[in-house]
Structure 1
Amino acid sequence: MPLASCKFSAVRLCGATLRRPTALVKKPAASLAVRCSSRPDDAEFSCGGGRLVDEGMVVLRRRIHEMKAAETNWEPPAEWAAWEEEWYGSYDADVCDLFSALQAFLASSRPGVGVGLVVLLMLAVPTSAFVLVSHLLNASRAIVSNLQQ
């Protein structure tokens, strides 16, 4: 079963500066330049020094994933649960749909909404972790006090 997939827009990584566009202009695919380089003493590619970073890394990762899946005849691993095996074919497209909907929402809203959502997540995650740990401590205290009686 071939995997459902989607196309991703190019993303600029490592040292990109974000500016408000003056006009929405779609660049032709031929204008994307890719130049990779590494020194022999580097373990990985570097993003510094003014080098261009591959703007299609998401597409490259997707293609590598599809090639690995094709090598296994599009079969999921045997240790997966039944619901995972059913979802295996459309998972990539579902993730792409989710993030494209999130991107569309954030692009159509004010910048303050995006910043507010990030701040909300930054406050909500530690708060919920603290509440969970405090409830677990109270439950363990109750269990220990019942065992001692």
Structure 2
Amino acid sequence: MRIASLLRTRGEKVAVADGATGGLIAAALLTVPGALDFFVGGGVVYSFRARDVLFGLPPEAYKGMRGASEEYALLQARSIRENFSADWGLAESGSVGGGSSHPTGADAGTSCAAVVGPNWEWSTVTETGSDERIANMEAFTRAALKYFEECLNELA
């Protein structure tokens, strides 16, 4: 995986906050042998309880935000980076669909990914237009990893 190579070359590490991807972003990074060289940890933020435990932010930090938004994904990326003392924070928040509705009403097939690193904050939206849960999880994971790689390449 090119991300692993880029991070290893730079001597940097990443922490991941998976949302609608359900852990697939972290799992993809962990398929690389020796992932401990560049991956410090993270978690699946799939409930308000998980969010509160993983990020440790006061409720006011989320005031006016809704999940599956760029602003929310950026807050998650900042928090995971800081809490895990990583160089990079990668976060995804979205609505995968499949018959269940998102707590904030976000449309199924919508994902926001955010990358926060040294002097860098970036976010993007992916829309599949689909209600296919597993396909959306895969698409959101691929998009987040692709954007993370683009950020690393841009700063190389």
Q: TM-score range by the shorter chain?
A: under 0.3
Higher CA-based Rg: 1
Q: TM-score, normalised by structure 2?
A: 0.26
Q: Which has the higher helix share?
A: 1
- Give the TM-score normalised by structure 1: 0.27
